Amino acid sequence: SDNYLTLADGNKMPQQGFGVYKITDQSEFDQAIESAWNHGYRLFDTAQMYKNEQNLGDSLQKLSAPRDQMFITTKISEANQGYDKSISSLKESLTKLQMDYVDLLLIHWPINTEFFETWRAFEDIKKEGLAKSIGVSNYDMVHIQYLATQAHEMPVLNQIEVSPLMSQKPMLKFNTENNITTQAWSPLGRGKVLNNPTIQKVAEDTGKSAAQVILRWHLQNGIAIIPKSVHDARIAQNADIYDFELTSAQMAQMDSVNTNHRVSKEPELVYEFGEQYPY
């Protein structure tokens, strides 16, 4: 889509991107990336942990598209945290992606105190131009507050699990108040929320699919999204969400689906910082 958000560092990022978690077969990859590109996706989101940076790099090469039209995100895995390993593993990621820089580099998960050294590396990586923007993923409020005690610059983005089953309203508010863009991973709850009767009803009332009303709900909440699909028709459908609007009543109906249910693990608590922990 043509819709971009401006991050706190001034860089622009497509509000909607394409997640490649769990796509590993190269021909499936090629088809999905070509399909996504043709339907207007410009942001592609991978991670060291997905073990598919090379696949993504190979698929993007086949598009023969200019690098500056793409927005590429990767994430430093838990195993590669720390100052030296962050930098050396990013260089390996760039080799696999066949790129000189990523647009956005994230710390994949908060791990106790290791994220301070990782973040110091990120600040240097940004200075060197190996990442245009730096942020975090799966950070809770306490992690961000704690990072802020030593960071020279703050993360511009926090990529977290958000779906109608896990709406994360307090976290979204916290991110906004701290000039941090929220980006939702698994915005469709890994597909598990599509059959929810409330969502089905909103879909019926708007004449759109369940996936489309969910993605539209995210956009109207002001956050960025990276839905994943390997099917052309669904990739197209997920991008086709800019010609309708949910009413505030429909937004409220969608909000009522929340059960604080994660498809993932809980972000690790930082017990050492106990008294700062807000809950």
Q: Minimal distance in Å, beta carbon 115 to ligand A2P?
A: 25
**CA angle (30 as vertex; 26, 36 as ends), nearest 5:** 140
Among 15, 86, 237, 253, indicate the residue that binds ligand A2P (CB under 6 A). Answer: 237
Q: How far apart are CA 189 and CA 13, in angstroms?
A: 22
Nearer to ligand A2P, 38 or 150 (CB): 38
Q: Which 200-219 residues touch ligand A2P, going by CB under 6 A?
A: 209, 211
Residue with tokens 């930082």: 270
Nearer to ligand A2P, 82 or 164 (CB): 164
Nearest to 140 by CA among 202, 182, 199: 182
Residue 39 known to bind ligand: no
Among 11, 49, 101, 191, indicate the residue that binds ligand A2P (CB under 6 A). Answer: 191
Find how far residue 78's CA is from the centre of its chain.
17
Two tokens at 24? 């590993």
Name the residue type at position 149.
T
Nearer to ligand A2P, 179 or 264 (CB): 264
Q: Which 113-132 residues touch ligand A2P, going by CB under 6 A?
A: none
Q: HEC profile for 181-227?
A: EEEEECCCHHHCCCCCHHHHHHHHHHCCCHHHHHHHHHHHCCCEECC
| Residues identified as active-site | 50
The SS3 of residue 74 is strand
Among 85, 120, 234, 262, indicate the residue that binds ligand A2P (CB under 6 A). Answer: 234
Nearest to 273 by CA among 117, 122, 116: 116
First CA to last CA distance, the chain: 39
Q: Minimal distance in Å, beta carbon 259 to ligand A2P?
A: 16
Two tokens at 67? 């690098």
Q: Which range of residues in 2-10, 103-111, 133-141, 223-231 is near ligand A2P by CB under 6 A?
A: 223-231
The contact mask relative to ligand A2P for 6-45 (x = CB under 6 A, - = no) is -------------x--------------------------
Q: Minimal distance in Å, beta carbon 143 to ligand A2P?
A: 23
Nearer to ligand A2P, 46 or 209 (CB): 209
CB 139 within 8 A of CB 110: yes
Q: Minimal distance in Å, beta carbon 94 to ligand A2P?
A: 25
Interacting residues toward ligand A2P by CB under 6 A:
19, 186-191, 194, 209, 211, 227-231, 234, 237-238
Q: Residue positions in the annotated binding site for substrate?
A: 108
